[in-house]
Amino acid sequence: MLTDLTIGMAGSGGDGIVSAGDSLMTALALEGYYAMLTKSFGPQIRGGESSFKLRLSTGHVLNPGGRLDVAVALNWEDFLRFGAELPVGGHTTVIYDQVTKVAPDDIPLPGVTPAEVLAVPIEEMARETAGTEKAKNTVVLGLMAGWLGLPENSILSGIRKRFGKKGAEMMEKNERAFAVGKAYALAHPLRELGRIAPPAEGASRKLVTDGNEICGAAAIFAGCDFFAGYPITPSSEIMHFLNREIWKYGGVMLQCEDEIASVGACVGASFAGKKVMTATSGPGMSLKTEILGLASIAELPLVCVNVQRGGPSTGIPTKSEQSDVFQAIFSAHGDIVRPVLAPVDVEDTFGITVEAFNIAEHYQTPVIILSDQEISQRKEAVDPIDTSAFKLVERRRPTDRELDPYVRFRFTESGVSPISHPGLKGGNYLASGIEHTESGAPTASGEIHAKMNDKRIRKFAPLHRRRDLFVHDGPEASPVALVAWGSVAGIVLEAARLARAEGLKVKALVPKLLYPFAEDVYQDFFASVRRGLVVEQSHQGQFFRVMRMFVDVPKGVESLARSGSNPFLPDEIVARVRALSLALQDEHSPVRQVCQD
């Protein structure tokens, strides 16, 4: 039986593609499976093509999977638009609607011979049972349940919940569409694929959420009192979630007239003593940059989420990319250090968001969370979050002694000064964007400016030693290494484990703290390394370039970088590891040594 399965499906707007994916995801989570669902859309505001890719497993899922085990094309034109996002290989079972009038031996997948190809009367079955082609997605759910043994009762429960609101007749029509799909599957068994194994014994129901919603939930847990934002794809769901939930916990959500106003409101609320967050994407980050500088010099805590998308400018709003590293680290005039964190998956977004608030409050600084479209909008079925594992940090308030007199920007040993708020007796001070003395008074003194720069940068020294914000995977002495961050990390971790299963000596490093650089962590990791790859979805290899500014990277470590909307697959990373391992063997071969002599 199968323990890991990846399904992909594409069609036109109105075909219910995403609804089908959501229904499958929910049903699997209810049964105790782990799963990951990515959704993709064309660039149109309305209509256009859509797709989903669903990976389900009896064990933890690290990434959305490589080549599809099952590919469903409601029409070929839309399916082909997704290209590498729905990769078909020699082991794939391809199912398509026979209304397309394409012969099974003539499907438009040049260079690929799938394991099995079936033309199924999907639209015809939908019309006959539900009276509308809009039930095609429900027919497909029946096909999947029949062929793969997916949980029928849970899928039907979801169908009833979804369509019950539209009346008994609509619900019954979709139940019939599901039944006819399942019956067709049982009457026409697949030749190649088996059925999915049941979840592990004792498996509990999973939590289904996406990166944006769990980010909002983590912010509330961390004590966020105030959120201000402006809608922008693919971060808008954070604002939507907080608009719905933050009021229940005494917080405020403010939708502002633009990106600049939203971060300005956050600076004001932070000055007033609140824990604050804003969220945006690349274009919005460009607009927020100046006021983030104000928060840095005024030493005000603030969390800013950047859900990366394809750029520059408007770029590709619906696709993932990792090309905002330069922007997050360097988009500020003057000598500024801003901590930058990056989650690796949906579940990790909770912990990273809590950590961002803790760092912001402790060091009195803006903190950037670099999420991306894939993490933010994909859904994962994960174990419920154990919130007891997290500790919350509050900003350092002045004691009575420190209020007599109160010196807001006092030079302390750690560089962190106690921060007051309006209404605190004796805690008044001037906060502005101009350079200032310890008390906050404006100054043009070069000597004081140098001391303040030192204070603002020196306080981050402990972050350079935060080894807990890195994931190490594999034997420490491995000569081949992989480095990846963000949504690419799960692909690289799986590739490293597949490579080790082949006997290759490879390890992986996943930084969740991108900046400031923990130089010792990288130097220790690279000590044994002769060959390696830094894998990222950035045309310039931005993280690789930044890493070389701070770390003595071994000469054999290369950048494996590509633009967004061109996903990596675990097996291609494994192939590169094989090549690196062979290159190492060649270096030490007797023939090569003789030639060199």
Please answer whether residues 364 and 301 qualify as being in contact, where contact means their C-beta atoms are separated by less than 8 angstroms.
yes
Q: What integer best gives the mean pLDDT of the chain? A: 94
Tens digit of each residue's pLDDT (9 = 90 or more) over 116-157: 999 999 999 999 999 999 999 999 999 999 999 999 999 999
Is the Cβ–Cβ distance between 63 and 39 less than 8 Å? Answer: no
What DSSP line would sit under 218-235, residue for residue? HHHHHT--EEEE---TTT
- Residue 50 host element (H or E): strand 49-57
Smallest CA-to-CA distance from 245 within 215, 269, 265 is with 215
Q: What are the phi and psi torsion angles at 425 (to 5°)?
A: -60, 125
* Distance separating alpha carbons of residues 416 and 192, to the nearest angstrom: 63
Residue bearing tokens 């930044």? 546
Helices then strands, counting H and E runs in the chain, come out as: 19, 20
Q: Is 396 exposed, middle or buried (0-12, 13-18, 19+ CB in 10 A)?
A: middle
Helix (H) or strand (E) holding 335: none
Residue 116: HSE in the Cβ half-sphere, 13 Å Cα cutoff: 14
Nearest to 481 by CA among 436, 532, 519: 532
Q: Across the strands, what pairs with 370?
A: 306
Note the Cα 553 to chain centre separation in Å: 26
Residue 43: pLDDT above 80? no
CA-to-CA distance for 591 and 597, rounded, in angstroms?
A: 10
The answer to whether 487 touches 565, Cβ cutoff 8 Å, is no
* Res 49: pLDDT: 86
| pLDDT cut 70: percent of the chain above it | 97
Lowest mean pLDDT among 16-20, 210-214, 509-513: 16-20
- Token duo for residue 27: 């049903």
Q: How large is the average pLDDT for residues 554-568?
A: 95
H helices of 133-198, where?
136-148, 152-164, 168-187
Tell whether the model's pLDDT for residue 81 goes beyond 60. Answer: yes
Longest dimension (CA), the chain: 85
Q: What is the pLDDT of residue 168?
A: 87
Per mean pLDDT, which range of 88-92, 218-222, 587-591 is the poorest?
Answer: 587-591
**In this structure, how many other beta carbons lie within 10 angstroms of the beta carbon of residue 523?**
13
Q: Retrieve residue 213's tokens.
A: 């919603």
pLDDT grade for 179, boundaries at 50, 70 and 90 = very high
Closest-CA residue to 83 (of 98, 69, 67): 67
Distance CA 24, CA 150 (A): 8
Question: What is the mean pLDDT of the segment spanning 299-309?
Answer: 98
Say if residue 590's pLDDT is above 80. no
**What does DSSP say about strands 252-255 and 226-229: parallel, antiparallel, or unpaired?**
parallel
- How far from 201 is each of 1, 32, 33, 196, CA to CA, in Å? 15, 9, 11, 14
CB-side neighbour CA atoms (13 Å) of 405:
8
pLDDT higher than threshold 50 for residue 594: no
Would you say the C-alpha torsion 478, 480, 486, 489 has a positive or negative sign?
negative
Rounded to 5°, the CA angle 540-334-464 comes to 65
Question: Between 136-148 and 122-130, two packed helices, what is the crossing angle to 10 degrees?
Answer: 110
DSSP state of 58: S
Q: Say what the pLDDT of residue 371 is.
A: 98
Q: Which two tokens stand for residue 324?
A: 């905002």
Length of the chain, in residues: 597
pLDDT at 47: 59
pLDDT in tens, 243-302: 999 999 999 999 999 999 999 999 999 999 999 999 999 999 999 999 999 999 999 999
Residue 438 and residue 454 in contact, taking contact as beta carbons nearer than 8 Å: no
pLDDT score of 302:
98
For the ranges 157-161, 181-185, 299-303, the lowest mean pLDDT is seen at 157-161
Please give the Cα distance from 41 to 25 (Å, whole number): 18
Among 235, 241, 240, residue whose Cα is nearest residue 283: 235
Helix (H) or strand (E) holding 408: none
All domains of the chain in start order, with CATH: 4-187 (3.40.920.10), 219-389 (3.40.50.970), 465-587 (3.40.50.920)
Q: Kindly report the number of other CB atoms within 10 A of residue 164's CB atom.
A: 12
Indicate the range of 5-14, 253-262, 292-301, 481-490 predicted with least confidence: 5-14
Q: How confident is residue 35, by pLDDT bands cut at 50, 70 and 90? A: very high
**What's the pLDDT band for 41 if we cut at 50, 70, 90?**
confident
With CA atoms as reference, report the closest residue to 17 among 35, 42, 43, 34.
Answer: 42
Rounded-to-integer distance, Cα 344 and Cα 349, Å: 7
Please give the full DSSP string across 474-486, using - where no structure is assigned: S-TT-SEEEEE-G
Digit-coded pLDDT (tens) for 322-364: 999 999 999 999 999 999 999 999 999 999 999 999 999 999 9
